[in-house]
Amino acid sequence: MKTSSDRLFYIIILMVFTFFALTFNPVSAVEHKSDYIEWVIDKEEIGEAYSSYIQLPNLTIDTYVADLVNEDINSRFLAVAEETNSKASIISEVNIHDDIISISIVCIRPPTSAGEEDLIETYTINYDITNDAIMPFGYLLLKNKIDYKTLCAEVNSKLRDLDGNCNVNDISDFWIDKDGNFVVLVDAFSYPSASESKQFICYYNLDKRELVWPGDAK
Amino acid sequence: MSKVKKVFFALTLLILAACTPALESVNKTANNADNPATVAPQQIESEYLQWLINEEGTFDSSSFVFQIPEITIDSYVVDCINEEIKSRFLKPALTFMEDPFMDIQIKTACFIDDKIISLKILQTETGYGTDGDIYTVNYSIEHDSILPFSYVLQKEKITYQELMQDINDKFKSQNCRYLKASSFYIDKNGSTIIVITSLDHNPEIEPWKHLFYYNVSNKEIVKSD
């Protein structure tokens, strides 16, 4: 017969196990939406000088449009994901709000030569489960009751607060973060007067009205 | 153009922005004999598309072309597409009517059959820094969804890597930086065209955003028109 101290011991063991499982498994930090999402690749490679995470989601929904979504993701990232020792990280986030599956993928590749910066590729797609449709950028505009030109001006103003020589290059993609915030993908460039212009990617959290950088968005 | 006509035209645009009226009313304005500064430059023969505004002419000393369409299919996805078109292009048209200090063109190219509506809208101004603001959308009538880039891969039976390699090879000699295959559309001949943007910056001058079009079928590049 178990004594109360035995029960306490088992409870403590269970709590310690749960703590370690949640803390030290990096994949558990990503929400798995098992009904609609499967992970084509979900692995971690730890090297001596680097660690890389590869997480590539696909929709489990069997329709023509969902197939197009999966092909869109796989065609861009699967080759990089399957490359061994590529040192690339592919970090994905999948969130579901209002029946929209929102997928954000950031692929970070280390520079091929000294002095260069990481190559960052971003990708987003938003799939409406109920209507079996990929949602256009106008969905963000309608939902947030914001005008496209006003949005561009707002992002431009935020960029120039950081650096006076920054400009929006293109705004046409978005995703929805885990808190349900609409996040705009911003393709921007800086043009320092003494050197060549440089293109960069950042996010604009429309609900918080703040710029976020890839990698800090989670 | 007289002040009365100027106010009339600006009011028409304002009403368009607010109510999104039908093509017929816009064409009536364009064909109005009392309004000789404007003509209807292009017709669309499709039940799926109509003009929000379809006029060209001169305003004070500046010229304008406004071809701003909307899709007439009753769906939420289409509502979202139309919202973006209005939001991106109707406002500059209004701004021009308030202060016509430069020439402006908002031109639409479209491909429509029973299965797909493909639109390219390009806004160019006499200014500096860019070949223009381009918007493309490809809407599947059959599936009531926009079509992602993978549609091109299926249609053209090519992999993403092969396509990007082809594009990069074509641009090797052109000294372009930050090449980005940003979107696609179907042209009037049914060819798939990839829109490519690049950014050039000589430190002595302002940066310039270039637009190129890559025809996937014949693998040719066309510079922005």
- DSSP states along B84-102: HHIIIIIHHHHHHHH---S
Same domain, A74 and A53: yes
Q: Do B199 and A148 touch (CB under 8 A)?
A: no
Same domain, A126 and A152: no
* Whole-number pLDDT of residue B18: 55
In a domain, A107, yes or no: yes
CA-CA distance, A16 to A67, in Å (whole number)?
41
Same domain, A124 and A155: no
Domain total for chain A? Answer: 2
Residues paired with residue B127 on neighbouring β-strands, in sequence order: none
Tell me the mean pLDDT per 10 residues along chain B, length 225. Answer: 60 56 36 40 79 89 92 97 96 83 90 93 83 94 97 95 91 77 91 90 73 92 73
CA angle A61, A66, A68 (to 5 degrees): 150
* Whole-number pLDDT of residue B108: 94
CA distance B38 to chain A (A): 26
CA-CA distance, B45 to B184, in Å (whole number)?
22
CA-CA distance, B90 to B71, in Å (whole number)?
15
| Closest to A91 (Cα-Cα) out of A122, A67, A118 | A122
* Whole-number pLDDT of residue B28: 32
CA distance A9 to chain B (A): 55
Same domain, A48 and A141: no
Contact A103, A122 (CB under 8 A): no
Same domain, A124 and A170: no
Contact A13, A7 (CB under 8 A): no
Same domain, A70 and A91: yes
| Closest to B52 (Cα-Cα) out of B87, B17, B76 | B17
Token pair for A79: 């080759």
Same domain, A39 and A117: yes
Last residue of a domain, one of A130, A150, A175: A130
Same domain, A123 and A174: no
- Which residue's entry shows tokens 């993978």? B150
CA-CA distance, A30 to B27, in Å (whole number)?
53
In a domain, A22, yes or no: no
In chain B, which residues have their Cβ closer than 8 Å to the Cβ of A144? none
In a domain, A2, yes or no: no
Q: Is B19 exposed, middle or buried (0-12, 13-18, 19+ CB in 10 A)?
A: exposed
Q: Do B203 and A131 touch (CB under 8 A)?
A: no
Packed helices B3-19 and B23-30: angle between N→C axes, nearest 10 degrees: 170
* Whole-number pLDDT of residue A116: 72
Q: Do B145 and A133 touch (CB under 8 A)?
A: yes
Query: Residue A116's domain spans which residues?
Result: 27-130
Last residue of a domain, one of A77, A112, A130: A130
Measure Cα distances from B202 to A175, A192, A193, B131, B222 in Å.
34, 11, 10, 16, 23
**Site from A63, A139, A182, A190 to mutate, B interface, most B CB atoms within 10 angstroms:** A139
Same domain, A110 and A147: no
In chain A, which residues have their Cβ closer than 8 Å to the Cβ of B147? 68, 134
CA distance B83 to chain A (A): 6
Which segments within B141-219 are labelled E, that is strand? 145-146, 180-186, 192-200, 208-215
Same domain, A201 and A156: yes
CA-CA distance, B57 to B51, in Å (whole number)?
16
In a domain, A159, yes or no: yes
A-B C-beta contacts closer than 8 Å? 112
CATH number, residue A37: 3.30.565.40
Beta strand A119-128 with A51-59 is unpaired
> Would you give per-residue pLDDT tens digits along chain A (218 residues)?
556 677 777 777 666 655 555 444 444 334 446 789 999 998 887 776 677 889 999 999 999 999 999 999 999 999 988 887 778 899 999 999 999 999 999 999 887 777 677 788 899 999 999 999 999 999 999 999 999 999 999 999 999 988 778 888 889 999 999 999 999 999 988 877 767 778 889 999 999 999 998 766 54
In a domain, A8, yes or no: no
Q: Which of A72, A142, A169 sits opposite B150 (nearest CB)?
A: A72
Q: Do A75 and B160 touch (CB under 8 A)?
A: yes
Other residues' Cβ atoms within 10 Å of the Cβ of residue B217: 13
Last residue of a domain, one of A130, A150, A169: A130
Token pair for B119: 């639109």
Percentage helix, strand, coil for chain B under 3-state DSSP, each rounded to 5: 30, 35, 35
In a domain, A16, yes or no: no
For residue A172, the chain B residue with the least C-alpha distance is B135
In a domain, A142, yes or no: yes
CA distance A51 to chain B (A): 25
3-state secondary structure of B36: coil
Conformation bin of residue A179: beta by default, left when phi > 0, alpha when psi is -120 to 50: alpha
Q: Do A135 and B146 touch (CB under 8 A)?
A: yes
3-state secondary structure of A150: helix
CA-CA distance, B41 to B27, in Å (whole number)?
10
In a domain, A125, yes or no: yes
Same domain, A99 and A140: no
Percentage helix, strand, coil for chain A under 3-state DSSP, each rounded to 5: 30, 35, 35
In chain A, which residues have their Cβ closer than 8 Å to the Cβ of B153? 71, 75
Same domain, A71 and A152: no
